[in-house]
Structure 1
């Protein structure tokens, strides 16, 4: 079995968005990449790096700040800390604390340094300062000096390693001024094309949404039994005694001896030849019960929990068999043909796994059965129950025929040698011996071969279990190449940037025409969901929205994203003027969990009588004149991710808001709602006053240091503030 080939059903499960399969969300692994209780600065730095690559820049900045507070002073810290501060932001979004930290990071390197991270930090500094300088300047008003400075910085960017170049263009997406972005468009397009498909995305992405398969359990086959065999044997013995009495009292000695000898010889032949045929019949019967179903396997399923498990697994089996129907067979016909067998498989699976709550870890087994039955149909095993079972030797059938012939000859000979009533007694005795021998031989062998039958059952169960183990090992080996959470984040970020470029291309806008932009992700209602410990929830399907804020209003370009291959489907465009925006807020919604997933419901309908199967999710609600735009910010919709405490709810909301892009989007939309169409002028004026104040404060501090110390030997930044806490998010009651 090729480990690189996807196991049966893997891609169907990983990309399933039908709502048929249970979809409670899965947690992958137990390694905490995004959390650390360590005091070691190197470990704190690594945690921050993971957070940054996982699209959690605000949390990454906290980790880098903690590493700095514990004594770390390295070039890589300045670079990644600066990226974390600027990621997902424009220069107008920086508060005083972030600006102070950024200034310290950018001033910590020397222009003449050859360290790779220092060179990358110099590029970040150049891009940031150029963007601030020309943000207020129209394209046509750029001086020749500005144009040369832009080209110098872009040339430095091109000379960086591919990793540093990719990190800068990814995280400084909203910082880089439109003019600079337009001049570097070709380079960005080439990088995006590569980032969206690199690391075999189409093959590996579905694996992220698949749980580790549950270890298969062997089935305990019940011991073989022969109900009623002893009664039949007693009846056969009675017939034999009757035949003997008839011969004893009615036939002469020669007839008695001849008939008895024939009966004993026939019984001996049956005992010698019948076992092979009976064992083969048992093998055929075992296969028929597996591929055609057996009502006896359903009789024991009575406990409510086990019955519920059986019914849930039966639904999964039906979905898997429909997906894996043999070529040329209509799914409905295939389901009708295998209905009894699927019910039997559901009962047998409930027998082994009925104590488990996580059905998703057994999806692999359902698809294994579906693939097994499809192969059996192709090979003929499904319709010819003796296919694949070795035939018995022709001598066995000949021996059974010989046993009957021998008894008949002995009876005929005894009758021929007798006269009158003796001949009649010989015939009646021989005819009575025939069923007695058949009953004694067959049912006596059933009891005598009981151990052999048990061995056949165990051998068949082992054969089925070996096939399950092989499929289980295939799944485990295939899932070893599951993408990391950082790779998932990078693919999604590249998809969002690519969508924005597609929107601008259709609208014929340049980056200089766009005053600001941001993107918000919304999961598909039935998307598969997975996360690593302490990480954000990733989805197999998204609804992407990129907001382009131009001089005249807001353009929203939306598309459905199939994350497994990065394809964009169903694009649409929405437009409205700035004065159409009334408000933007974060509101709560209800979630009702079901057998196949969860559904959002109106929160007003579930309070105050909130039941146990109802929790809360959050939506971003944009109120326009005459309509609403609601974007779900998922953090509690999947049952396995539902928080247990208010602190967990707060942490999940912060994480969902940051990774979905809703934090910056909500701030900008609220600013527009408050300022109207002049929001960008007001924002720029406010930002200019902020920068002037920070520069004045910084220069005053430097002058005080210069007067106190004539020469500064260290090129380190001044002490920075302690780690910051994330701001509270106002949540409205909808």
Structure 2
């Protein structure tokens, strides 16, 4: 299962996503502005994390003095979201009372009207008799107020209060909500944007810098050759000076010009041939020149293997489907090996995750495959072809040397012929001694020069590709959007299953929806948020008067499709126990398998077993239904801003385990009687509170007396 952690190191508050906390893992110590803290809390609420939202809104109100109808609305939602009436304790009722009273202090606007609807629903749910049955009048009044709200507000209240309202909503209301859920869950270009959430932030490209090879002892033969040349010139010019000074100066000028131009062209020709051979070795054997390795960290474990896998995947996805496939892999082998070496050298010591350079692998794969298709991989044979030794400078240099030789020969032929022979011998010896050293020194300088220019062009192309990748990910969905889509998916799935089973809201006492990462899914998260997955395993329990209907399916998150649906029914008495505990998990072919206690103990000696928390639902037929909690290892946690224990609680909250375990534990203990006992508990725990005042101008919306005190 691949994973990526997104860390936003910018401002301490980001309103569009929940991924940034406050520079400190403990919000109460950080002392943020109440309004900013409230905005972060709203993001948590919309992202499907009401527990964190409750904490932060409470802090903003009680410690920061924040007060408005909007705050009251979201606080009430956070208190009730995903919870049944029996889940609320005295502190929750006190918070709800505070929120509803706060709305009464700001009696106007959209938020106040929505709080009024929530209040009507709370009244209707809690206005029950000893048998747990509510008042039809209260239900009708709540539904009438709910119907007056805009569609988006109605849907938000329905989704957050789904567990609290249970079977209060009527079929007509649900049918309107079904269509809204069906449409809303695929809005925001979900299909194209969700995959971007799981793509890593692209690391900026690092420029290749050629690494200079130490000259070693190459200077020694060059120095020796220079000494021999000076001796030869001293011998020749000394002999010529006794015959004619003008001739001596002319020969010296011709030798200097001819040696410079012809020698330089000859050395460049030899270097070009060697560079062409080096490029040939790079293409066919994967040999490359040394480059600087930036970064001071130790090479990351597994980085090289990860790069190998990414390169293999990138070229596999681009391979031709015809008979040229074998040639494709064979002819690109050397460049693939060089690409691997470059990426490891440039990024392995910098702390950059391998996934952050996936875009760079794709960029170079595109370039190499494009050149391969155009038969351009061997373009260096044309670009680095040695210039023919027929250039005017080379021929002019040879002519100057020939002129100097002719003049010297004619002058010294009958005068000092031995000096001429000695000069020729010394020059030949200088060439033999110094040619290797000259090629090393000159070739290294030219290699650095040409490699620097080549790497500059490559870096410029990488920067353009990086900017293009950043622009592509600019509309990556926020965590809030991911959480909202998931909540809508679960609502859609529940309503779809109820429709297939011919169940209405009156037939379902309550429902439990659990999610865990599906096998083979990718996962990603923002700092402070839960992991989001590219695919989920969804378990839905519909608790009816007659028993439990369990439906399991795989949710492909980008498309919103539920596939592989499996159903099972059992009586309440079939549930033996339900608890959250640490289990041993082994991944067989990428699929997690929860081990029994004996298996986990035995496997620790031979296999690598991961310890994970899981909700274990045990049935009488020894069947076990595990739901794994997301794990947070050291590579996925920002320890400066996050508390691992808080993250585990967050993972349980986002997966539905926190609220589900209470229901399943009660059923395991009480069996079918839990329904009647639940209603009786709700009756016995009815609190008291004052009514929220409704101004006269708004009474036509709710009636003359829309709010009744809890009795």
Match of 1:515 in 2: 509
In the alignment, structure 1 residue 203 sits paired with structure 2 residue 192: yes
**Equivalent residue runs for 1:3-82 within 5 Å:** 17=1, 23=3, 25-29=5-9, 31=12, 32-33=20-21, 36-37=27-28, 38=31, 40-70=33-63, 71-82=65-76
**Equivalent residue runs for 1:221-370 within 5 Å:** 221-223=210-212, 270-271=262-263, 273-274=265-266, 277=269, 281=273, 284=276, 288=280, 291-292=283-284, 293-294=286-287, 306=299, 311-328=304-321, 334-335=328-329, 337-359=331-353, 360-370=355-365
Change (3 A) 1:267 1:659: same
The answer to whether the 8 Å contact 1:36/1:43 transfers is no
For 1:436 and 1:53, how far apart are their aligned partners in 2? 82
Match of 1:586 in 2: 580
Normalised by the length of structure 2, the TM-score is 0.75
Deviation at 1:510, TM superposition (A): 2.1
Match of 1:542 in 2: 536
The answer to whether the 8 Å contact 1:522/1:634 transfers is yes
Match of 1:169 in 2: 158
For 2:6 and 2:101, how far apart are their aligned partners in 1? 44
The DSSP-based 3-state class of the residue aligned with 1:547 is: strand
The DSSP-based 3-state class of the residue aligned with 1:627 is: coil
Which of 614, 617, 622 is the matching residue for 2:617? Answer: 622
Change (3 A) 1:574 1:167: same
Match of 2:671 in 1: 676
Deviation at 1:560, TM superposition (A): 1.6
Match of 1:119 in 2: 113
* Cα-to-partner distance string for 1:300-352 (whole Å, 9 max, x where unaligned): 99x99549566334433444434442444787875554444333333333333
* Cα-to-partner distance string for 1:355-376 (whole Å, 9 max, x where unaligned): 2455333333333332332233
The DSSP-based 3-state class of the residue aligned with 1:180 is: coil
The answer to whether the 8 Å contact 2:550/2:567 transfers is yes
The answer to whether the 8 Å contact 2:131/2:679 transfers is no
* Cα-to-partner distance string for 1:11-41 (whole Å, 9 max, x where unaligned): xxxxxx4x5xxx4745454643486332754
Which of 468, 476, 487 is the matching residue for 1:482? Answer: 476
Unaligned segments of structure 2, at least 5 residues: 13-19, 236-252, 406-422, 692-706
Deviation at 1:439, TM superposition (A): 9.6
Match of 1:636 in 2: 631
Deviation at 1:585, TM superposition (A): 0.7
Normalised by the length of structure 1, the TM-score is 0.72
Match of 2:377 in 1: 382
The DSSP-based 3-state class of the residue aligned with 2:563 is: strand
* Cα-to-partner distance string for 1:185-218 (whole Å, 9 max, x where unaligned): 3432333234323233233323333343334333
Match of 1:255 in 2: none
Structure 1 range deviating more: 678-687 or 522-531 = 522-531
Match of 1:564 in 2: 558
Deviation at 1:662, TM superposition (A): 0.7
For 2:299 and 2:200, how far apart are their aligned partners in 1? 22
Match of 1:532 in 2: 526
* Cα-to-partner distance string for 1:569-612 (whole Å, 9 max, x where unaligned): 32222222212111111110246899x99997666636998999
For 1:56 and 1:548, how far apart are their aligned partners in 2? 22
Deviation at 1:500, TM superposition (A): 1.4
The DSSP-based 3-state class of the residue aligned with 1:520 is: strand
Deviation at 1:456, TM superposition (A): 0.8
* Cα-to-partner distance string for 1:391-430 (whole Å, 9 max, x where unaligned): 676674798799999999x99xxxxxxxxxxxxxxxxx99
Match of 1:189 in 2: 178
Deviation at 1:534, TM superposition (A): 2.5
Match of 1:220 in 2: 209
Which of 531, 536, 546 is the matching residue for 1:552? Answer: 546
Change (3 A) 1:230 1:102: closer
The DSSP-based 3-state class of the residue aligned with 1:548 is: strand
Give the root-mean-square deviation of aligned CA atoms: 5.5
The answer to whether the 8 Å contact 2:586/2:595 transfers is yes
For 2:624 and 2:445, how far apart are their aligned partners in 1? 71
Deviation at 1:117, TM superposition (A): 0.9
Unaligned segments of structure 1, at least 5 residues: 1-16, 246-260, 412-428, 701-715, 719-734
Change (3 A) 1:286 1:478: farther
Structure 1 range deviating more: 304-313 or 432-441 = 432-441
* Cα-to-partner distance string for 1:507-546 (whole Å, 9 max, x where unaligned): 2322222221121110134433332232222222211112
For 1:226 and 1:699, how far apart are their aligned partners in 2? 90
**Equivalent residue runs for 1:454-493 within 5 Å:** 454-493=448-487
Structure 1 range deviating more: 116-125 or 469-478 = 469-478
The DSSP-based 3-state class of the residue aligned with 1:178 is: coil
The DSSP-based 3-state class of the residue aligned with 1:121 is: helix
The answer to whether the 8 Å contact 1:525/1:599 transfers is no
Match of 1:372 in 2: 367
Match of 1:662 in 2: 657
Match of 1:152 in 2: 144
Change (3 A) 1:653 1:111: closer
The answer to whether the 8 Å contact 2:6/2:527 transfers is no
The answer to whether the 8 Å contact 2:575/2:620 transfers is yes
Match of 1:453 in 2: 447
Change (3 A) 1:85 1:66: same
Deviation at 1:237, TM superposition (A): 11
Structure 1 range deviating more: 397-406 or 59-68 = 397-406
Match of 1:711 in 2: none
Change (3 A) 1:549 1:383: farther
Change (3 A) 1:155 1:161: closer
* Cα-to-partner distance string for 1:549-570 (whole Å, 9 max, x where unaligned): 1222212222222323433332
For 2:263 and 2:676, how far apart are their aligned partners in 1? 103
The answer to whether the 8 Å contact 2:271/2:439 transfers is no
